[in-house]
Amino acid sequence: MENRLNLSEQTLSKIDQVVPKYPEKRSAALMVIHLVQNELGAVDDPACEWIAERLDLTPINVKELITFYPMLREKPWGKRHVRVCRTLPCALRGSYGTCRTLEQKLGVKEGHVREDGEFSLEFMECLADCGQGPVVIVDEQTYENIAGESAEKFADLLLKGKLESSEEFVSYEDGLVQEPK
């Protein structure tokens, strides 16, 4: 099929690997959309049409999915995307304050992308780590207990690009036991 979207070899080969895993092509839709979105940042209408063709569907079949799921996008988020949980358990521990802090510090309203495209903020539903709320996901890393003053420090480090190397904020993923001992 013609590579109209100019996807990388890696993405194309991953798509080719994932589609045959399912008894029916249509089932691969979400996985293929994730792969395309991971590379292009979003799935716009031409990408919808390409995915539809790849899976023997009509474009509306794909657009129905993109607009249904909050994590699938027609327009890309910023270079760094921050998700804050707003559901009750995290809200009880101050996530609304955390979201306000991040809005102020990052200079972007929730649900929007900053004008320079560097950051975007999303106030999301339950991220399934409620015991350590408020939970903030930056790109693919899950940070816990981000509230009050801690949220201010967190935002500052994020702005400076020093979050990953920080010792105070270790993501859930980085906190897992890494090597077999």
Partner 1 sequence: MLEIDVDIKELPKERRIILQHADDPNYSNRISCYLREGGYDILKKAFAMKPEEVGEEVLKSGVRGRGGAGFPAGMKWKFLDRKSGKPIYLICNADESEPGTFKDRQIMYKDPHQLIEGMMIAAYAIGAKQAFIYIRAEFFEGARILDRAISEAKEHGFCGDNILGSDYSCDLVVHRGAGAYICGEETGLIESLEGKRPNPRIKPPYFPAVLGLYQCPTIVNNVETLCNVKHIVDMGGEEFAKIGKPNNTGTRIWCVSGQVRKPGYYEFECGALTLGEMIFGVCGGLLPGRSLKAVIPGGSSAKVLRADERFKGTLKDGTEFDWGLEDIPLDFDGPMAAGTMSGSGGIIVMDDTVDIVEAMANINAFYAHESCGQCTPCREGSLWMRKITKRMCSGGAREEDADLLLSVANQIEGRTICAFGEAAAWPTQSFIAKFRDDFVNKAKAGDQPRDEKSLQLI
Partner 2 sequence: MISSNDQELITINLNGQDVQVPNGINAIEAAAIHGKEIPHYCYHSHLSVAGNCRMCLIEMGTPMRDRASGDPILEEDGSAKIGWVPKPVIGCATNVSPGMHLRTESEKVKGCQEGIMEFLLVNHPLDCPICDQAGECRLQEFATDYGRGYSRYIERKNVKPKRTRLGPRVTLDDERCILCSRCIRFSQEVAKDDVLGFVDRGSFSTLTCFPGKELANNYSLNTVDICPVGALTSTDFRFKMRVWFLKETSGICTESSAGCNITISSREGVIHRITPRRNDLVNDSWMTDSGRTLYKAVKFDNRLLQFSINGESSPSANALEQAGELLKGRKLGVVASARSTVEEHFLIKQLVDATQAKVFLRGHFGEDDGILLSADRTPNLRGALATQLTSQYPADHLNDLTQAIERGDVDALLVCSEDLLDSGVSAELLENVPVVYLGTHANPTSKIAEVALPSLTVFEKSGSLINRSFILQSFKQAVPGPAGVLSDAQLIAELHHRIVGGEKPSTVPAELWDAISANSESVFSGISHRELQKNCIQLDGSSWAGLPFVEQAALHFEGTNPKVTA
Nearer to partner 2, 56 or 174 (CB): 56
Which helix (H) or strand (E) element contains residue 142?
A: strand 141-143
Q: Min. distance of Cβ 88 from partner 1 in angstroms?
A: 5
The closest of 54, 58, 74, 78 to 66, measured between CA atoms, is 74
161, 119 in Cβ contact below 8 A? no
Asked if residue 87 binds partner 1 (CB under 8 A), the reply is yes
Local structure of 69: helix, strand or coil: coil
Binding of residue 12 to partner 1 (CB under 8 A): no
AA letter at 67:
T
Distances (CA, A) of 44 to 34, 49, 65, 67: 13, 9, 12, 11
Say which entry of partner 2, partner 1, none residue 131 contacts (CB below 5 to 8 A, set by partner kind).
partner 1
Partner that binds at residue 45, options partner 1, partner 2, none, CB closer than 5 to 8 Å by kind: partner 2
Q: Does residue 21 belong to the site contacting partner 1 (CB under 8 A)?
A: yes
Residues that bind partner 2 (CB under 8 A): 45, 48-49, 58-61, 63-64, 67-68
Q: At 79, which amino acid appears?
A: K
The one-letter code for the residue type at 37 is Q
Which one of residues 11, 12, 27, 107 is an interface residue with partner 1 (CB under 8 A)? 27
State the residues that interact with partner 1 by CB under 8 A: 21-31, 33-34, 55, 57, 61, 64-65, 68-72, 83, 86-94, 96-97, 124-133, 137, 140, 172-173, 176-181
